[in-house]
Amino acid sequence: MVEFTEEQKRVRDTVRKIAEEKVAPRAAEIDETDEFPLDYVDVYAKNGLLKATLPKSSGGLDADTMTLCLIVEELARAYASAPQMLITTGAVLQVLSKAATTAQLQRFLKRLEKGTHICSFALTEANYGSDAGNLQTRAVPDGDNYVVNGSKAFITSGEVAELNLVFVRTGGRGTKGISVIVVDKNSHGFHVGNKEHKMGFAGTGTVELIFDDVEVSKDNLIGKENEGWRLLTNIANMMRVWGAGSTAMGNAQGALDDVVEYVREEVQSGKPEVDFQAIQFMLADMAISVETARSLIYRTAYVMDRNGASFKDVETLVCMSKCYAADVGMKVTSDAVQIVGGYGYTKGSSIERRMRDAKSVQIYDGSNQIQRIVAARNLLS
Ligand SMILES: Cc1cc2nc3c(=O)[nH]c(=O)nc-3n(C[C@H](O)[C@H](O)[C@H](O)COP(=O)(O)OP(=O)(O)OC[C@H]3O[C@@H](n4cnc5c(N)ncnc54)[C@H](O)[C@@H]3O)c2cc1C
């Protein structure tokens, strides 16, 4: 059983209140307009959530993986899109706090204060998603700068991000030639390209980023040249649990909450729907799946907080958590639509929105196929 600390309970309860009062009431409108919710940014910033992953000495909450899981779960329970800006920003700040110099971190934090506070995590390219190790965006040294050319695709928060953590090729082919640099949105030659018109996850500012001879100071290189992949694998393990996994599980819990409320009130052929055993069994199975996903995520967070993200057995647990929670998210939201019937399938119901949102988690942050490949490889090695 997981025992939460007083601090974890305090953060969870604060975020639950924010989710109920500020996030949930705006979900349908954001889903309709696809506008990036700057009102969420204000609320998150006021409550210190955007800097949750930073140590207290840098103005953060020093949140461990378990706390981050609770934050994301509570927000996704209200609306799956809501935690996405916290995930991209939190992941970038987590990389910076671990791998940047103190001077770099201070400079970037000062820069973020001047705008939306939001960061993007830019890895994927149009032809390099699962195969990101072969990415092509290139940074070529030129005096004190790198000159960056190429583009990134599907970058969450990229529409409004002040700083973009960009994975670039500085060396030869494959994962050993990749570095991480920070590109300011005000850099000459940097453009926010087309917005991706997605089936769900509205308002997450998912765009193309274009680099056209962008001059980036060598002071913006994070860690050592050509060591970007090592930084990525460490952070990816963390993000997949508190980011993707907790989003999927929180969204599934929200669908279950919604459908239980619906079934309690619905009457079919003069009989309360709550009395149909077939429906009761579906609800029980949904609850079992959500609770199992939650247990796996919390266990992974627990192990990670005690042993670190690069601990050998953590990666397998991470793959299992992300993949299982994402599949549960899809199944539970789809069953929720089934229980509500025709109205569940109509646009504008929270249930159909949750089903569209659930799909993305099976794809992003390392698709579920890739998670299964890594889990199997680790089991067999
Ligand atoms: C909503 C959303 C938000 C996103 N946000 C970001 C972001 O902020 N930053 C970022 O960098 N990227 C982001 N992405 C991109 C995301 O990480 C990629 O979509 C993902 O890695 C999959 O890559 P792909 O789309 O190119 O699919 P592909 O890699 O082309 O894969 C297509 C299909 O083939 C399968 N496949 C691929 N390789 C193998 C293999 N070796 N064995 C078996 N099956 C395989 C995949 O599982 C998938 O089912 C986002 C994507 C979405 C949908």
**Whose alpha carbon is nearest atom 24 of ligand 1?**
129
Our mutation pick for probing the ligand 1 site, out of 84, 135, 154, 377, counting the most ligand atoms within 8 A of Cβ, is 154
Which of 61, 58, 54, 55 is CA-nearest to residue 14? 61
Pocket of ligand 1 (CB under 6 A): 88, 121-124, 129-131, 154-156, 198, 201, 206, 360, 363-365, 367, 369-370, 373
If residue 104 lies in a helix (H) or strand (E), which one and from where to where?
helix 102-113
- CB count in 10 Å sphere of residue 203: 24
- CA max distance for the chain: 79
The phi, psi pair for 247, rounded to 5°, reads -60, -50
Task: Please tell me the residue having the least CA distance from ligand 1 atom 41.
Answer: 370
Give the separation between CA 94 and CA 224, rounded to whole angstroms.
17
Angle between helices 246-265 and 350-363 (to 10 degrees): 160
The beta-strand segments (E) located in 8-156 are 119-122, 138-142, 145-155
pLDDT at 123: 98
Q: What is the pLDDT along the chain (381 residues), one digit of tens a residue?
A: 688 999 999 999 999 999 999 999 999 999 999 999 999 999 999 999 999 999 999 999 999 999 999 999 999 999 999 999 999 999 999 999 999 999 999 999 999 999 889 999 999 999 999 999 999 999 999 999 999 999 999 999 999 999 999 999 999 999 999 999 999 999 999 999 999 999 999 999 999 999 999 999 999 999 999 999 999 988 998 899 999 999 999 999 999 999 999 998 887 778 888 888 999 999 999 999 999 999 999 999 999 999 887 777 899 999 999 999 999 999 999 999 999 999 999 988 899 999 999 999 999 999 999 999 999 999 998
Ligand 1 centroid – CA 130 distance (Å)? 5
Task: Specify the residue with its C-alpha closest to ligand 1, atom 9.
Answer: 155
Q: Tell me, in angstroms, the distance from the centre of ligand 1 to residue 50's CA.
A: 25
Distance 184 CA to ligand 1 centre (A): 25
CA distance 80 to 311: 29
Rounded CA separation 360/262 (Å) = 25
In the reported structure, the alpha carbon of residue 121 is separated from the centroid of ligand 1 by a whole-number distance in angstroms of 14
Domains of the chain, earliest start first? 6-113 (1.10.540.10), 119-227 (2.40.110.10), 229-380 (1.20.140.10)
User: What pLDDT does 1 receive?
Assistant: 65
pLDDT of residue 272: 80
CA distance 131 to 14: 39
**Which tokens go with 287?**
């609850």
Query: Which ligand 1 atom is at minimum distance from the Cα of 120?
Result: 8
Residue minimizing CA distance to atom 30 of ligand 1 = 129
- Alpha-carbon gap, residue 156 to 163, rounded angstroms: 12
Mutate to test the pocket of ligand 1, among 192, 367, 368, 377 (most ligand atoms within 8 A of CB): 367
Dist. CA 118–CA 160, nearest whole Å: 7
Whose CA is closest to atom 16 on ligand 1?
Answer: 364
Whose tokens are 């993000």? That residue is: 239
pLDDT of residue 311: 76
Burial bucket for residue 223 (CB in 10 Å: 0-12, 13-18, 19+):
middle
Q: pTM above the 0.85 mark?
A: yes
Cα separation, 252 vs 244, whole angstroms: 12
Residue minimizing CA distance to atom 29 of ligand 1: 130
Alpha carbon separation from 157 to 86, 190, 215, 363, 366 (Å, rounded): 9, 15, 22, 17, 18
| Cα–ligand 1 centroid distance for 21 (angstroms) | 33
pLDDT at 81: 98
What gap in Å lies between CA 192 and CA 314, rounded to an integer? 36
30: left (phi over 0), alpha (psi -120 to 50) or beta: alpha
